[in-house]
Amino acid sequence: MNAAPPPTLMLHDRFARELAEMAVPWQAEKTPDPRLLVLNEPLAAELGFDPASLRNTEGVRLLTGNSLPRGAAPVAQAYAGHQFGGFSPRLGDGRALLLGEVTDVEGRLRDIHLKGSGRTPFARGGDGLAVVGPMLREYVVSEAMHALGIPTTRSLAVVATGRSVRRETLLPGAVLTRVASSHLRVGSFQYARGTGDIDLLRRLADHAITRHHPSAAESEHPYLALFEAVLAAQASLVAKWMLVGFVHGVMNTDNMTISGETIDYGPCAFMDAFDPAAVFSSIDGGGRYSYGNQPVIAEWNLARLAEALLPLFHEDQEQAVTLAVESLDAFREQYGAAWSAGMRDKLGVADRVDDQVTSRLVDDLLALLAENRVDHTLFFRNLGSAARGASEAARAMFIDLAAFDAWTARWRALSPDAEVMDRVNPVYIPRNHLVEEALTAATDGELDPLNRLLRAVTSPYDERPGLERYADTAPECFGSYRTYCGT
């Protein structure tokens, strides 16, 4: 791992070459006065960049697509998608570009992608731009997710462009440099299927198998195996979201990856008080993408993926549907298993304890948390202290103390392991009030709060003195939280 990084980075154009029908060659808009706001040095090194070289003028031009590395053939990717249940056959990168793929130091292929790089042929009415606040929000939340051990796209850098962008007011523009194991989405398959070109659909599936689920190629039914692998990855991913109280906010099929990485941090948030109905997005009045609905929506999205893949499952479409339905059936069981195993660890309960006992304990706890509006993250961390005998902090979070005491007695009888708990229950998450505070300051040019928040949330399990306010709940005056989409 000590090998010196290559002086100039080589980008591949594999997606652009293999799937040209879904790739529109395009260039990033010129940035008038680029200024690097934040750079992810460990990620840069992982990709084979010399981190220092990304800080100079040429490096910043590279991060915004204003200067292209060797081999780069940037494209806007075409995809379709169900947005809030309604189908759009042509969405695509309206304000984003795939610069190309890089082979990282471990030999893995990673996409280098820009968000906010100007209008593309997919922009429709949009301006193709992004602003500092939401791009830094994606940076903070995606890096927090990664540190929590949750598969996600990564954030390499945010560069302020020096250009004003019109939203409700004029705001400073920015470009996010995003890294992902790919940007293939459920919506990519919906797009390919929509063209009616089965050869394209097959090439897309083959591309996805090679990049993400190579074992599917060995299967007797590779395309069904691909579907089952995506389903398994998504069941595991959404269980992880649920275990940390993450609300994605806009689980449209164009925002669900084939790799199983979390993508598109728009109106996302971590819930404070436990509430299955928690919604933060200003445009999700019906609660379609509420916390508690996420597993059901994931399953619904996977059904849309299966529909898109039907011609590859079997020549006879009736048999193809039968196969798809059988495979889709596995989602609930796989999700349930991932969730139950995760909850066991959150409670520190050993595997030998009966499943039924644990599941009743979990159900009763969640009902109590909801009734008492208890902060999800802080509760589980305090429960770790309770496992060590100091239960006052957890107890003080409840109004109904008798109910808490009764539940705790049942839990304690199972000899919970505090160390297991502390490894999975984070101290620091990107709490909404802290994210807002950091983004407001950064929009005004003050980056210290952002950097402090990043230090806390990128080591989420490691409790450190001096960071108490990063572990605490929002002050009363913060009120109920709303986030805004598509900015």
Provide, rounded to whole angstroms, the least separation between the CB of residue 260 and ligand AMP.
18
* Interacting residues with Mg ion between 247 and 306 (CB under 5 A): 255, 264
Q: Please pick, among 13, 111, 206, 254, the residue that the annotation labels catalytic.
A: 254
Provide, rounded to whole angstroms, the least separation between the CB of residue 254 and Mg ion.
5
Pick what 127 binds: ligand AMP, Mg ion, none; C-beta below 5 to 8 Å, kind-dependent: ligand AMP
Pick what 430 binds: Mg ion, ligand AMP, none; C-beta below 5 to 8 Å, kind-dependent: none
For ligand AMP, which is the closer residue by CB, 229 or 308? 308
Provide, rounded to whole angstroms, the least separation between the CB of residue 178 and ligand AMP.
12
Residues at the contact surface with ligand AMP, assessed by CB under 6 A: 91-96, 122-123, 126-129, 250, 254-255, 264, 266, 485-486
Provide, rounded to whole angstroms, the least separation between the CB of residue 73 and ligand AMP.
20
Pick what 91 binds: Mg ion, ligand AMP, none; C-beta below 5 to 8 Å, kind-dependent: ligand AMP
For Mg ion, which is the closer residue by CB, 255 or 483? 255
For Mg ion, which is the closer residue by CB, 255 or 262? 255
* Interacting residues with Mg ion between 87 and 126 (CB under 5 A): none
Provide, rounded to whole angstroms, the least separation between the CB of residue 487 and ligand AMP.
8
For ligand AMP, which is the closer residue by CB, 207 or 248? 248
329 annotated active-site: no
Nearest C-alpha neighbor of 76 from the set 24, 29, 28, 128: 24
CA-to-CA separations, 229 to 24, 214, 224, 226, 306, in angstroms, rounded = 29, 10, 9, 5, 12
For ligand AMP, which is the closer residue by CB, 92 or 384? 92
For Mg ion, which is the closer residue by CB, 161 or 255? 255
CA-to-CA separations, 264 to 71, 318, 400, in angstroms, rounded = 27, 35, 39
Pick what 93 binds: Mg ion, ligand AMP, none; C-beta below 5 to 8 Å, kind-dependent: ligand AMP
Provide, rounded to whole angstroms, the least separation between the CB of residue 257 and ligand AMP.
12
135 Cβ neighbours under 8 A, 6+ residues apart: 115, 116, 158, 174, 175, 176
CB-CB contact of 346 with 358 (8 Å): no
Dihedral in degrees, nearest 10, Cα atoms 216, 217, 218, 220: 80
Pick what 272 binds: ligand AMP, Mg ion, none; C-beta below 5 to 8 Å, kind-dependent: none
Taking the C-alpha atoms of residue 268 and residue 250, their distance in angstroms, rounded to an integer, is 8
- Binding-site ranges for Mg ion (CB under 5 A): 255, 264
Instruction: Tell me which residues are annotated as active site.
Output: 254
